Chains A and B, each alone.
Chain A
Amino acid sequence: MHIPDGFLSVPVAGATGLVSAVALVVACGRSQEDLGIRRAPILGLTTAFIFAAQMVNFPVAGGTSGHLLGGTLAAIVLGSPWAGMLCITTVFIIQAVLFADGGITALGANILNAGVIAVWVGWVLTQTLQRLLGGSKGRLPLAAGIAAGVSIVVASVACAIQLVLSGTASAAIVLPAMTGVHILIGIGEGIITGGVLVYLAKARPDLLPGEEQEFKGWLVPVISILLVAGVLSLVASGWPDGLERVAENVGFIDLAEQVRIEVPTPLADYGIEGLGAISTSIAGLVGSAVCFAVAFGIAKVVKPKNA
């Protein structure tokens, strides 16, 4: 998933670099505690550990190979996604500057994909899944394993979108290719993450977060909605619904084409032209966000004054 030099356009490289820089400034401020005398060795060693683990490739189908990304693992072991961001960012800087693995000009994009998106998706999903699984510490490896696998796929989709926006490749080629390979890599990531956490939970349980839940109550429903809209929508049936089937059978389906005034709809048929299957997912996420915003606005307006 390391984007090399020359594959991103200047605007995309600049924009992703800016977003990553802002995220890192916030992360540096929020993880001051992790840089103190007590936690610094854990942060430094975890960084070295993730760097070393990324050098060990495991074979994936089709003659390609993958390696651990480690964002979820780092965030959980360090107990903070902010510290996890610092850890993965450091790994990517070392790889880009000293090993030409991942481009210098693509460093912002690579940090955004692996150090921000993968870390946060892994962290938030782990919290959500752990709560759905009962919240016990024993379920943490399972939750983290699933979350780590999903985080890789999400990061690969982000990477593919950056390549599409740069004009390097068409969405029809790069999106299925990246997603397909990274689903397999995600399985490997999930197994390694879960396995390591099982061992750490037995050998050094004090290193892992406790039973208490640190996330807010609204997180579970919001993440569940995003999972349904963004992931499950990809496997939704493409067959016509009941009314469409009847209209086809009876013969009045053509009436739908004979409208006098056509309102332009950017997400017609729950998709975006030219983006393939992933457009359903994007449309689902946009729709969920709009619905949430509208419902939130209505609730604010109609809320009783004494509430």
Chain B
Amino acid sequence: MLKVALPLRLHLSLVIVVGAASLQFNAWLCLGIYGAIALFWAGFLRVPLPQLGGLIGTELIFLSFMALPLGWERASFLLVRSLICLITMNSFLLTLPPHSFGIALKSLPVPVPIKANLLLAGQYLEILLDEVTRMQRSAQLRGLNGAVGWLRYTSAAMIGALYLRSLDRAERVYAAMVIRGYNGQLPVDATFRPKERFVLLVAWAIASGLTITSYTI
């Protein structure tokens, strides 16, 4: 198990992404350094490579549709820059322990109402998936075999029914949470210790230096 705390992992990933995405166009040397950092980060997090490759491959195909009409020179830099960002964020995503993204997101500087909504949305996603499974099972019992067959017959009424069924359960879950003392805050600490703050500061300083250098050379 890695000893880097989840909020710090998220923030270091963000430092690499923001730094690489802000590079001056055609600053290949700086991009190469960010590429090395991103690969080191992926290795450090011990990301499963087959999964990482599959995800990035799919994402790059979609990006290529957008970038290739711009010409090879421009498209190649854009795609490599995006590839570095994708490696970094996907490495974080694929090594994120289950049910813990709320802790990571809690450390982000976003308003409290949005954080509360993030937490609820994360919880209710499980309810939605559960309801989808139930509706699929019901459909199978009525003769629609397989998830693909069910999806083919999905209509606006079924989407609406899914929303209402999930809403009923979500309201019950929320009432139970309120009774148990939920006040819109995740009862988990996501603050940084002094050592982690120092690491983050150093990371920001290196990234800022590297990115600003790309504009001066």
Contact = CB atoms under 8 A, between A and B. Distances in A.
Interface in B20-75: 20-23, 25, 55, 59, 63, 65-66, 69-70, 74
Interface of B: 10, 14, 17-18, 20-23, 25, 55, 59, 63, 65-66, 69-70, 74, 78, 81-82, 85-86, 89-90, 93, 96, 101, 104-105, 108, 110-111, 113-114, 116-125, 127-129, 132, 151, 155-157, 159-164, 166-167, 170-171, 173-174, 178, 184
Contact of B89 (A48, A89, A100): A100
Main secondary structure on chain B at its contact with chain A? helix
Contact of A6 (B20, B119, B121): B20
A37 B108 contact: no
B157 A199 contact: yes
Contact of B174 (A8, A41, A49, A177): A41
A103 B114 contact: no
A1 B191 CA distance: 34
A46 B64 CA distance: 32
B184 A35 contact: yes
Given A28-B111, A103-B85, A196 B160 contact: yes
5 contacts: A6-B85, A48-B128, A98-B96, A100-B93, A106-B21
Interface in A175-208: 177, 191-192, 194-196, 198-200, 203-204
Nearest to A52: B128
A47 B120 contact: yes
A204 B164 contact: yes
Contacts, number: 187
Interface of A: 4-8, 10, 13, 24-25, 28, 31-32, 35, 37, 40-49, 51-53, 56, 64, 86-87, 89-91, 93-94, 97-101, 103-106, 167-169, 173, 177, 191-192, 194-196, 198-200, 203-204
B159 A195 contact: yes
Contacts of A90: 114, 117-118, 121
Contacts of A42: 167, 170
B78 A43 contact: no
B157 A24 contact: no
Given A25-B111, A41-B174, A45-B170, A87 B117 contact: yes
Contacts of A196: 156, 159-160, 163
Nearest to B10: A97
A11 B123 CA distance: 36
Contacts of B111: 24-25, 28
Contacts of B17: 5, 103-105
